Amino acid sequence: MQRIGVFVCWCGSNIAATVDVKAVAEAAKHEPGVVFSTDYQYMCSENGQAMIREAIKEHRLTGVVICSCSPRMHEATFRKTAVSAGLNPYMVEIANIREQCSWIHKDMAEGTEKAIILARAAIAKVHLNAPLVAGTSPVTKRALVIGGGIAGIQTALDIADAGFEVDIVEKAPTIGGRMAQLDKTFPTLDCSACILTPKMVDAAQHEKINIISYAELDSLSGFVGNFTAKIRKKARFIDETKCTGCGICTEKCPSRKGLNDFNMGLNTRGAVYIPFAQAIPNVAVIDSAQCIHFRTGKCGLCEKNCSAGAIKFDQKDEILEREYGAIVVATGFKPIDASAFNEYAYSDSPDVVTSLEFERIMNAAGPTKGKLVRPSDGKHPHEIVFIQCVGSRCTEDATKGKPYCSKICCMYTAKHAMLVREKYPDVKVHVFYIDARTPGKNFDEFYRRAVEQYDVDYIKGMVGKVSVEQDHLHVQGSDLINNEQIHINADMVVLATAIEPDPTARALGTMLTASMDTNDFFTEAHPKLRPVESPTAGVFLSGVAQGPKDIPETVAQAGAAAAKVIGLLCKNELTCNPCVAHANEALCNGCSQCERVCPYGAITYEDKEVRSPEFRGIKRIAVVNGAICQGCGACTVTCPSGAMDLKGFSNSQIMAEVDAICR
């Protein structure tokens, strides 16, 4: 029989305001096995912990139940308290009477009744707890960064500077990401490429950084400190070790009709191409769907003209198997598809462009060499309308847009407006906005400059319709301040489209078992206190993959994620979770169901001699690798014969809790 102590925390008024803590402590006293029960204002305080330590010694407690906040908050604290009093840490159970009780109830009687029931369940479980001992596992001192945009580059640089090896896996042929496509950056209006490309070069030249471009994560197994990744290096049909990036092949290629992704499809490129001048690696890539050689077997002009002999038409996808201790997700974003917004005529007129397209038009390396012209006829525009929140804060139609604020649009639209007015003072610029959101250092000053110095016409209100008329676009909107309908004949319309997570994020999240929100942004372990860690141990978040943010925030978060990775890779070994699954050999049928549901690949099979009343002889049974098992319990519920059980959360412990609740 266990000797159990129950400690009920008030959490100031957090619990005590809706739960009669004295009544809970009193009720617990009458539960079987409970030899001591008390309440205190803050159990997690030094005084509270001292009270627990003394009670363990004085009453020779073998089990402890703390009725307090969520175990996610203070389970570790109380386990350490128990250890310091000589008790096994796994003899501590938390009854969550705050998040699951006091915070969600208003009525004291109801709250108290529920808190007593939750305490009863925890007491019933402690009766079946057994001391557990944690093992250790080694740490592979290398990090994987998925995504080579500014977030990934900065994270990799910071980790590498601390002396650890980093691989950057980038799905595009070059690193650089979205920032490489930008013209200028707010709030300083410095050139994006001028500040990004030195970082790209730093990453390329860093002896600890290995850039694996044109590659994607194929599969991942293992656990924190010990991940094994299979990385698919897609065939670029160019020998990277030979290509000098001279670009002759890209000039000679006769197939010129491929849309240039880097310029948002505003112009075309050859089938063999280098995405942009400062690409890293500066190596060409062949688009096999477009290449004449791949379609007809003829041509081969690039091969004939390559003096380095780098063209390899027979190159195949290559799978690299690498081991990592930590993984950083920096998969970034893409603008949403604006064609869902028919009212803005995006599909009907080339003169309606998205902001990222506009960014390319304004860029000196873009399709117009930086000259602002109308895409339809190449003429100079005289009046431009910017529309904010296209698909952002779109709560009425979830299929069309996104419920969240994309955060960067207010600022980049102010930037665009200012750039246009600076370069072409003859162009009239109107901005339709719902709210101008400028919370950031020097952000509001920046926006006010657009309004006050550059005389940009900000109109509070939304555009109802853009219609294509002979040589202009008719924009019909409302001015909410003057309460009037506005009609503008514009030459161009620029849509500040919402941003969404990169489409590869969802599949990656499943592969990493890292949780995501309904918008496919990766979820942080705690929204305030652990913002760069995913709830999955060893997986960290950097940049827009976690939520919309601008470049300064992304770089700050990238550094924070790197700090967390460095903290992990510094350790030589990690303490394993002892709450792992194990198979009862007498009951196991070796049917393989558990192996199939195990997300960590922790289960294998052995032919083992078994002697039990039901079976004598050699049979196939499941064996769990305790270092890999994360204790998720998927196997225990899949096992038809009940052979699989989880230490610390056994079937009988859970049934005891249910029984205690239903009593």
Partner 1 sequence: MQEMIKERVLTLINEGAADRVLAWETGEFFYDRTPKFFDKNNVNDLKYDSFCGANVTKYLIAEMPKEGKTIVLVKPCDSYSLNQLCTEHRVNREKVYALGVGCRGKIDVEKLRTMGIKGITAITEEGDTLTVSTLYGEKKVARKDALLDKCLCCKGKEHKGVDEVIGDSEETSVGDKFEMVAKLEAMTPDERFEFWRGELSKCIRCNACRNVCPACSCIKCVFDNPKSGVDNKAAADDFEENMFHIIRAYHVAGRCTDCGECSRVCPQGIPLHLLNRKMIKDINELYGDYQAGAEIGQRHPLTDYTLSDDEPSVVHERGGANA
Residues found near partner 1 in the complex (CB under 8 A): 506-507, 510-511, 586-587, 589-593, 596-597, 599, 605, 612, 614-615, 617-620, 638, 640-642, 651-652, 655
- How far apart (Å, rounded) are the C-alpha atoms in residues 509 and 518? 12
CB of 230 to partner 1, least distance (A): 14
CB 335 to partner 1: min, Å? 24
Nearer to partner 1, 489 or 612 (CB): 612
- 70 or 513, CB closer to partner 1? 513
Task: Give the type of residue at 209.
Answer: I
Residue 572 identity (one-letter amino acid)? N
Of residues 140 and 589, the one with the C-beta less far from partner 1: 589
Q: Which is nearer to partner 1, 400 or 526 (CB)?
A: 400
DSSP secondary structure of 340-378: G-GGGTTTT-TTEEEHHHHHHHHSTTSTTTT----TTT-
C-alpha neighbours within 13 Å on the C-beta side of residue 564: 24
CB 374 within 8 A of CB 540: no
Smallest separation (angstroms) from partner 1 to the CB of 621: 10
Specify the residue, 363 or 653, whose C-beta has the smaller distance to partner 1: 653
Q: What are phi and psi of 47, to 5 degrees?
A: -65, -45
Of 245 and 590, which has the nearer Cβ to partner 1? 590
Q: Which tokens belong to 596?
A: 């199939």
Least Å from the CB of residue 642 to partner 1: 5
Nearer to partner 1, 549 or 619 (CB): 619
> Nearest distance from residue 517's CB to partner 1, in Å?
13
Cα 493 to the center of its chain, rounded Å: 33
Nearest CB to partner 1, comparing residues 503 and 567:
503
Angstrom distance (rounded) from CA 555 to CA 565: 15
Residue 555 or residue 587: which is nearer to partner 1 going by CB? 587
Question: How many angstroms separate the CA atoms of 467 and 578, rounded?
Answer: 65
What's the N-to-C CA distance of the chain in angstroms?
20
Least Å distance, CB 260 to partner 1, is: 30
3-state secondary structure 371-388: CCCCCCCCCCCCEEEEEE
State the Cα–Cα distance between residues 279 and 145, nearest whole angstrom.
Answer: 18
Annotate 111-160 with three-state secondary structure: HHHHHHHHHHHHHHHHCCCCCCCCCEEECCCEEEEECCCHHHHHHHHHHH
Under DSSP, the state recorded for 338 is G
Strand partners for 429: 384
Shortest reach from residue 532's CB to partner 1, in Å: 25
Nearest approach, Cβ of residue 218 and partner 1 (Å):
11
| Inter-residue contact 408 to 440 (CB < 8 Å) | no
Kindly tell me which of 364 and 655 has the beta carbon lying closer to partner 1: 655
Nearest distance in Å: CB 389, partner 1: 27
- Least spacing, CB of residue 507 vs partner 1, in Å: 4
Neighbour-count burial for 403-426, b at 16+ CB within 10 Å, e otherwise: ebbbbbbbbbbbbbbbbbbeebee
